[in-house]
Copies of this chain bind each other. A is one copy, B any other.
Amino acid sequence: MTTSTPGTTEANLTQLEYLALNATVNVADGHARQELTETQKRIIDDLPTLFAKAAGEPLEELERSAQQTFLTTFGQHRYPTGPDRVLSCYASSVAMEILARSLAGTVTTVGLIHPTFDNIPDILRGMGLRLTPIEESLLAGGDLDAGVPPEVGALFITTPNNPTGTVLAEDRLRLVARLCRERDIVLCLDTSFRGFDYRAQYDHYAVLEAVGCRYVVIEDSGKLWPTLDLKVGMLVSSENVGLPVPEVYSDILLGVSPFILALVERFARDAADGGLDELHEHIAGNRRVLRETLAGIPGVSFPDEDSRVSVERVAIPRSSGSQLFERLQRQNVYVLPGRQFHWADPERGEDTIRVALARSRGTVAAAAAELRSVLLG
């Protein structure tokens, strides 16, 4: 997609990401663009064999095996395994679209975590759903019963959250799930960034199934590995979900490529065999480079001290906002503004930017150096 140039204030985040796709230093989108590790390179060298394997195996077994390997690698052992319970999608956003369409007939108001990536509110609103913001702080420690308005028919939580990295802890998930069961709310989780943070890898399904609430979970291989966006989103729903998820799914797709399923399985096995620790070290190293390079600049700080996901928020002096973007873009460096993540109150994101960390060390170092120079200049 080539695109005309929207302003940083009115464009959505994905439109701003397009601008960065061909930039010298693109630290805008959250896709995985770091280099392949040595063991990942060996998987890529083996692609012709993988193609033959995917062509020869019964699709049902191949899909079941890929789903199981992926989910259990990230600690999800008790996911539902009945017919139509795990649907493979082209991407997590396609899973999101199917979920939104499935909700639209039944639910009027969605309680949506705030802040979060803006395509989630956009997709939900596009289906005519009303949104009410649910603050991260409420989910983390507030009075849920008082804080979730009575009109909420579905509650949508991104965990770990994008851009903050905030993880919904197990005891809080249990409380949220109980509230949802009591009020017959559909609990929706987007766990796309789970792979980056062991604290988000407790078995969510064990909690959800024990409580017995209606739920939908969006799982995603897309943020983790530099597979050139060969990825799978999974739409997992409870037996009792009571939404036409498989019917809507069948309007959009018959299934994903068995080649991609086989590839995701191989990358998940590699992750289980040490690749995940390597990935965490890489992201932590990039985070350190960014923080150290920007250390000591007046008015600059890192609000998500404990975040482990592949994006990092940087708080900047409020006055530097739009000027900052212009000056960075002149150096061909692209980051995302914070405004659009605060979908219910953009002003609150005015003094933050988001820097992607799933890049080579060199790209993050170059972005950090330019940021430092622009913030000091």
Q: Which residues of A contact B (CB under 8 A)?
A: 1-4, 12, 14-15, 17-18, 21-22, 29, 31, 44-48, 51, 54-55, 58-60, 63-64, 83-84, 87-88, 90-91, 93-94, 97, 101, 119, 122-123, 126, 128, 226-231, 246-260
Contacts and interface: CB of A to CB of B under 8 A. Distances in A.
Given A90-B94, A229-B255, A252-B93, A1 B51 contact: no
B97 A4 contact: no
A93 B255 CA distance: 11
A115 to B, nearest CB: 17
Q: 3 closest Cβ contacts across the A-B interface?
A: A90-B90, A47-B47, A229-B257
A244 to B, nearest CB: 10
A258 to B, nearest CB: 5
A126 B248 contact: yes
Nearest to A252: B93
Contacts of A249: 1
Nearest to A63: B1
10 contacts: A1-B246, A21-B59, A21-B60, A22-B60, A44-B48, A47-B47, A51-B228, A55-B228, A119-B251, A230-B260
Contact of A22 (B58, B87, B93, B101): B58
A252 B22 CA distance: 20
A132 B250 CA distance: 23
Given A84-B2, A229-B257, A18 B250 contact: yes
A2 B229 CA distance: 25
Contacts of A31: 254
A6 to B, nearest CB: 10
Contacts of A251: 12, 14, 93, 119, 122-123, 126
Contacts of A58: 22
A254 B83 contact: no
Given A48-B48, A58-B22, A228-B259, A83 B12 contact: no
A92 B1 CA distance: 16
A251 B14 CA distance: 7
A253 B252 CA distance: 15
A55 B254 CA distance: 28
A241 B299 CA distance: 46
Contact of A250 (B15, B91, B227, B250): B15
B250 A229 contact: no
Contacts of A255: 1, 18, 21, 229
Contacts of A48: 44-48
Given A18-B250, A55-B226, A97-B97, 19 more contacts: A1-B246, A1-B255, A2-B64, A3-B83, A14-B254, A15-B247, A17-B254, A18-B255, A45-B48, A47-B48, A55-B228, A90-B91, A94-B252, A119-B252, A227-B259, A228-B259, A229-B256, A229-B259, A231-B257
Contacts of A12: 247, 250-251
A259 to B, nearest CB: 4
A33 to B, nearest CB: 9
A119 to B, nearest CB: 5
A31 B253 CA distance: 11
Nearest to A59: B21
A87 to B, nearest CB: 6
B252 A228 contact: no
A250 B17 CA distance: 10
A146 to B, nearest CB: 32
A375 to B, nearest CB: 27
B97 A126 contact: no
